[in-house]
A and B are shown apart, each in its own frame.
Chain A
Amino acid sequence: MIQVRNLTKHFGQNIAVDNLSFEVQAGRVTGFLGPNGAGKTTTLRMILGLVRPEKGTATVDGVSYQHLRAPMREVGAVLDAKAYHPGRKARDHLLALAQASRIPVKRVDEVLGFVGLSDVADRRAGAFSLGMAQRLGIAGALLGDPPVLIFDEPVNGLDPEGIVWIRTLMHGLAAQGRTVFVSSHLMSEMALTASHVIVIGRGHMIADSEVEDLIKRSSGTVVRLRTPKTEVVVPRLEAAGGKVETNGDGAIVVTGLEASAIGDIAFQAGAPVHELAAVEVSLEEVFMELTRDDVEFHGGGGGAIP
């Protein structure tokens, strides 16, 4: 379990991480979401002892990273995909890591096989594609067979096959009971990968919840209703606490009421129902809504392109 308490860090005048507290539980994939510049990487680097917090603590199973007895056997992490010397062979890179952590050398070939790099193990890593680099990074993280795994933007720049591979890997690691903490700025990806998400913006906490709860809580139920007697139904829906918006195509969109309740109200009003459907709100939209005020750089939005 990863525990973060009141973590705070400035870079110059800018606050990177603002009094952040959360826990990452074992046995599931936890997504760490936020727009670019939200402070995700800084937080991860503080958990891993690479960046020193100004305030607060970050621990893994109650111990700060610097004080772990055998760090790579307790936490595996991939921060930069290409964090290796380009002139060194993949196997030698992992060998140096294994030796530093007193991990048996035979483990190097095991993890190379696991990530599918056995055939290129004796090639210099500088020639690796981004996908191969990610796999090499993951091989390094798995060297120590650690119960806690941390990945910073692991699917960035990967092709669809690579993305699916990483997603499957994370699910597998979590299913083995490990703690898996994955940062991303892509909500759509996390919707498929994570069961729990921690959302931050400008360094502070926005949401810490189950993915399903997050969708429900943030927009409530959204239902589309199509009926020829709109003018009769709308006042009754509003009286029942629904929020109604009219759609251009003649349908109305109701938030705040369950589909069944809306159907009942229409029936009581004697309005024929042509369409009644719960609208799936994508996690992407929830994310945009949550982080609207916390995006560091907004696009010009709607203005003419100069």
Chain B
Amino acid sequence: MTQPMTTQVPTQTIAKSGFPEVGPPSLVDTLRSEWTKLKTLRSTVITLAIAGVIVIGLSALGSFLIAANESSELKHGSLPSPLDTIQGGWGIGMLAFMVLGVMAISNEYSSTLIGVTLLATPKRSRVLLAKVIVFSVTMFVISEVMSFINFFVGHAIISAYPAYPNVSLTTHLVLRVVIGMGIYVTLVGLLGLGAGALLRHTAGAIVACVAFLFILPGILSALPNSWSNPIGEYWPTEAGRRLIVLDHGPNTLSAWVGTADLALFIVVLLLIAGYALAKRDA
């Protein structure tokens, strides 16, 4: 070797002059980094803005159409409850949260950024944990704000039509449904995040989530009752839905048990995703 004793050189000759020794990074640093990643993507902001417009716009439109035509609708006996009318826009709006959840991790795979992320934080489960915390806190706050704005807009529109029944936040369980909507869509977003982490592919994860949320429950309901009832009752996203309706009928899980069912499913999904992330080659 022409370079004797060179192994000791770096630490001696390269002063860490730019910054003092500040100790190893921790979860707090990973959280900070993930928060920067989330908020500096224009697509996050745009998707949330579109989600807000869709939710509130569709709900307002539905409230107006239904309340304005209440007499004819009432005669046919097919009138949705006023709260369901006010919340109508969420059916499509929650898809945006699901997609945001998927993208929160799948876009790191499509851009190969994941390699750099894992170089900065080789503790891979910490990366996923930080993503989950940052995503759920952000989405919870935003979806709650959206849910309350949506409620007040719908409530105001329906108030203009006294012939149609209205609800207020003080009506029994209405507050729970309005707050519950934020919880439910945040959980749907986390479902997307788990699927994205597991499948590492945007389109694949979105398809899987849509199938899980809409298609499979539909197929289940076509099964004979002795099958579809027990499965449908505990199907996580269906069980979780108890939280966002006023009346879920008899013989079904209570709102909070249903939510716990969904939450538990997501915890298991995220644990599997975390295990896969740690074990697979990146």
Contact = CB atoms under 8 A, between A and B. Distances in A.
Interface in B1-32: 1-3, 6-7, 9-14, 16-19, 22-26, 29-30, 32
A50 interface: yes
B133 interface: no
B19 A103 contact: yes
Given A102-B24, A102-B25, A179-B10, A85 B118 contact: no
A71 to B, nearest CB: 6
Nearest to A110: B18
Contacts of B41: 85, 87-88
Interface string B101-133: 000000110011101111111110000000000
Contacts, number: 143
Interface string A82-96: 111111110010011
Nearest to A210: B2
Interface in A64-93: 65-66, 68-73, 75, 77, 79-80, 82-89, 92
B36 A102 contact: no
Nearest to A26: B6
Interface in A106-120: 107, 110
B222 interface: no
Interface stretch (A140-148, A162-170, A233-241, A246-254): A140-148
Contact of B18 (A83, A96, A101, A107): A107
B33 interface: yes
A185 interface: no
Contacts of B9: 26-27, 177
B113 A84 contact: yes
A13 interface: no
A96 B7 contact: no
A71 B25 CA distance: 9
A107 to B, nearest CB: 5
A52 B281 contact: yes
Contact of B7 (A25, A69, A89, A95): A25
A134 to B, nearest CB: 14
A178 interface: yes
B43 interface: yes
B7 A1 contact: yes
A271 B187 CA distance: 92
Interface of A: 1, 25-28, 45, 48-52, 61, 65-66, 68-73, 75, 77, 79-80, 82-89, 92, 95-97, 99-104, 107, 110, 124, 140, 145, 147-148, 176-179, 210
7 residue pairs, one from A and one from B, having the closest CB atoms: A147-B10, A100-B33, A92-B40, A177-B9, A100-B120, A177-B13, A99-B33
